[in-house]
Amino acid sequence: MTPGTEHSVSRPTGESVNSPRGERRYRFLVTGYAISSYGTFLNMVALNLFVYETTGRALAMGLFMAVRLGSGFAAGLAAGGLLARFTAKSVMLWTNIAQAAVMLLLVFAPDGLRTAALVAVSVVVGSCGTLFMVSLRSSIPEMVGEDRRSWANSLSITGRSLAMVAGFASAGVVVSLVGYTAAFVVDMATFAVCAVTVGLLPIAGGGRGKPARADAEAGAEAEPEAEAEAEPGSPRPARRRMPVALVALAAAPGLGLMVALRGVDALGSSSHNAALPVYSSELDSSHPAVFVSAFWCLWALGNIVAQQLIQRYGRRTGRTVGALGFGYGTCLMSGAFILAFAGFPLVATAVIALVAGAADGLTEVSYTSHLQTLPAGLRAHAFGLSATVENLGFGAGMITVAAALDRFSPLTVVGWSHGVALLVAVVFLIRVTGLRRTAPGPTVP
C-alpha cells in the first residue's frame, strides 16, 4: 500500500470484500479476537486477585483499574493520528504482541519488581486494548464491505460475549487449580494466537494511511450545518486548524450527541458493575459470586441472541438497525439494569438480565455501524474519540459510584446513573427523529 490510499485494508486482485473467501478470513480474525478476549476476561479476575495478594490493599485494585482506564483514555486520543500513519493491520498486530510481551514480563518478574510489572501490565493492556478495538472497528467496512458492516459487528460482538462467559466462568477454576502464573501464561498465549490471525489476514502491513484532513474536508463540505457556520468567502485554513476528531463529530448530524450518550451510558455501566457484587452479597452473603456469575452469563446469552436476530434482520432486509436502534436500545438497556436491582424474584431477574444483554448488543451494533458510515480518514478519529469518552465515563463513574455505594443502596445508585442515560437517550431520540423529518434525504440512518 502506498501513501494516500485507504488506511486500513488492501485486497488481493480479483477478490471481492464480501466474497465467501473474504468473509471466511474475517471469521478467522474474529476467532482470534474471541480467544484473546477470553484471556482478557480471565485476567480481569486473576489480575485483580493477584494485585490484592501482592499488595495486601484493596485500594491497590482500584488504582490498578484507574491506571488501566487512564491508559485507554490516552490511547483513544492518539488512535486517530496513529491510524493515519500506520495501517490497521500493523496496529492490531503490534498491540497483541505488546500485550503478550508484558504478560511474559509479569510471569518472570522477581518479587521485588512485581509491583512495577503490574503497573506496566495495566498501562500496556489498557492502551493496547483500546488501540486494537479502534483499529478493528474502523477497518471493518474495508474488510467485509459497506453492506456487511452490521453482520461483521454482530459476529465480533458474539465472539466477545462467548469469551466473556468462558473467561469469567473459568477464572476461579484456573486460578484455584493451577495458580496465577498459569493464568498469565494462558493470557499471553491468547494474545499470541490473535497476533497470528491478524498476521495472516490479506491486509497491507506497512506504510502510511490516507491523511484524515482530505476526508475531513470532504466530510465538512457534505455537512450542511458545518457549512452554515462559515461564510462562503471564508478561507479554508481556519477549518484545517479544527481538531480532526471534532471535524468527525460534525460530519453527520447528531453524531456528537450520539458519542456523548455513549459516554453517559459508560457511566451507567460503571454503576451496575460496581453494584452487582454488593447486591449479590446482600442476597447471599455466603456465596456472593453465584448471583454475579449467573447474571453475567444470562446477560451474555441475551447479547448473543440479539446478535443472531440482527444478522437475520440484515440478511432479510439489507438494512442496519441505525441510529434510532441505538437510542431505543439504550433506553431498554438502562431500564432493564435498574429493574435488575429492584428485588424481583430470581426468575424475573433472570429475564431482566437476558433483556439487558440483548439491548446492550443492539446498542453496540447500531452505534458501531453508524460510526462506520463516516469517511475512512475520519472514521478512526471518531472511534478514538469515542473510546476516550467511554473510558472517561466509566472511570469517573467507578470513582463516584464506589463512594455512593457506601451511603446509598445499589438500586438508588444504579437508578440515578442509568436514569441520566435514559434522559440523554430520550433527548437523542428526539434529535434524530427531528432530523429525519426535516432532512430531504436519508441523512440519519
144-158, 236-250, 263-277: the lowest-pLDDT one: 236-250
pLDDT at 202: 65
Q: What is the DSSP letter of 204?
A: -
Q: How many helices (H) and strands (E) does the chain have?
A: 15, 0
Q: Mind listing the pLDDT tens digit for each residue in 131-173? A: 999 999 888 888 887 778 888 888 888 888 888 888 877 776 7
Query: What distance in Å separates the CA atoms of residue 275 and residue 415, rounded to the nearest whole number?
Result: 11
Q: Mind listing the pLDDT tens digit for each residue in 62-107? A: 678 788 888 988 998 888 888 888 888 899 999 999 999 999 998 8
pLDDT mean over 329-356: 94
Query: What distance in Å separates the CA atoms of residue 248 and residue 387, rounded to the nearest whole number?
Result: 14
| pTM score | 0.75
Q: Assess whether pLDDT exceeds 90 at residue 195.
A: yes
Q: Mind listing the pLDDT tens digit for each residue in 350-395? A: 999 999 999 998 998 888 888 888 887 788 888 888 888 998 888 8
Residues 193-221: b if buried by 16+ CB within 10 A, e if exposed? bbbebbbebebbeebbbbbbeebbbebbe
- Residue (of 408, 421, 405) closest to 333 by Cα position: 421
Query: What distance in Å separates the CA atoms of residue 159 and residue 29, rounded to the nearest whole number?
Result: 10
- 384, 153, 28, 203: CA torsion to nearest 10: -50
pLDDT at 291: 82
Query: What distance in Å separates the CA atoms of residue 366 and residue 218, rounded to the nearest whole number?
Result: 24
Give CA angle at 13 (143, 1), nearest 5°: 65
Cell of 38: 477470553
Mean pLDDT value across the chain: 79
5 C-beta neighbours (distance < 10 Å), count: 16
Give CA angle at 108 (106, 114), nearest 5°: 50
**Domains observed in the chain:** 20-199 (1.20.1250.20), 241-438 (1.20.1250.20)
Over pLDDT 70: what percentage of the chain? 78
